[in-house]
Structure 1
């Protein structure tokens, strides 16, 4: 059985931690935005979909940035999508505190 080189093992560990952190951050953001939506009169599916749309901008942008990176390109549209979703999520999360 071959053992992975330390560099590969560290890269794999960093990838796992990054995925876990990203998942936790999305979950916390989504839950808070859902609470904000519910507190502002949205209920049922509307309270569920509203924060999801904000987070989907981020996911779409990040997937498009990954595709561009794999092609050794820069995709301005992907960056704009991810930035719009990120800034929107941050602004709405901060506005909903307190």
Structure 2
């Protein structure tokens, strides 16, 4: 895309002023005995010193050296303009002007060196911004979370009915234990045993058992059992 060209009046004035000042400085240097390429080097030197001082003034407006060298370069440029306007006989230049023109390169070099190597201004300490109050977190409304209904438990699969266990076989009846018939008790022995049993009951208040009766009568176990059974 092509940009439209606009004429800037200030830029045009700067070009005209620069061209005329350049030409006047050249004419003054040539009249002071600087011929050839040396006459063209003088306006370049003056303009470079002027630009260097102006740039230093932009970065450090409190720098007095920059203002001084800017004034020196400006006086040199304006002096050449005034001198070549008919106030000075360029065919008979005074000696003091020849001395100034001859000494200008050294003066311009000194000014340019001082401007280029002067310390840069220290940056101003940045002011700490005021602490920003921490914003309180907005209250979050209580959220009621509804749980999804749990799926109904699946019914357990029905198991087939268990087969009835066969009834247990009735216990086998014990074989009859052959019993020996109780021996007969003589009547006299029975009467004697009854007396002993009555005396034992009177003394102890309890009936005499078969073991005690056996020990008192000195009979066999079977006979003692028969007598105890007969006394009950």
Question: What TM-score range do you get, normalising by the shorter chain?
Answer: 0.5 to 0.7
Unmatched tracts of structure 1, length 5 or more: 1-12
Measured after TM superposition, the shift of residue 97 of structure 1 is: 2.1
Shift of 1:67: 1.9
TM-score if structure 1 supplies the norm length?
Answer: 0.66
The alignment partner of 1:43 has SS state of coil
- In 2, Cα distance between equivalents of 1:20 and 1:64: 24
Alignment of 1:67-82 (within 5 A): 67-68=59-60, 73-82=61-70
Structure index of larger Rg: 2
The structure where helix makes up a greater share of residues is: 1
Deviations 1:13-58, CA, capped at 9 Å, x for gaps: 9xx5434322321221011111222233322221011122222221
Q: What TM-score results when the alignment is normalised by the length of structure 2? A: 0.31
Structure 1's consecutive aligned runs of 4 or more residues displaced over 6 angstroms after TM superposition are none
Does 1 or 2 have the higher relative contact order (CA < 8 Å, sep 6+)? 1
Aligned to 1:91: 79
Q: CA offset at residue 87 of structure 1?
A: 1.3
Unmatched tracts of structure 2, length 5 or more: 1-5, 87-232
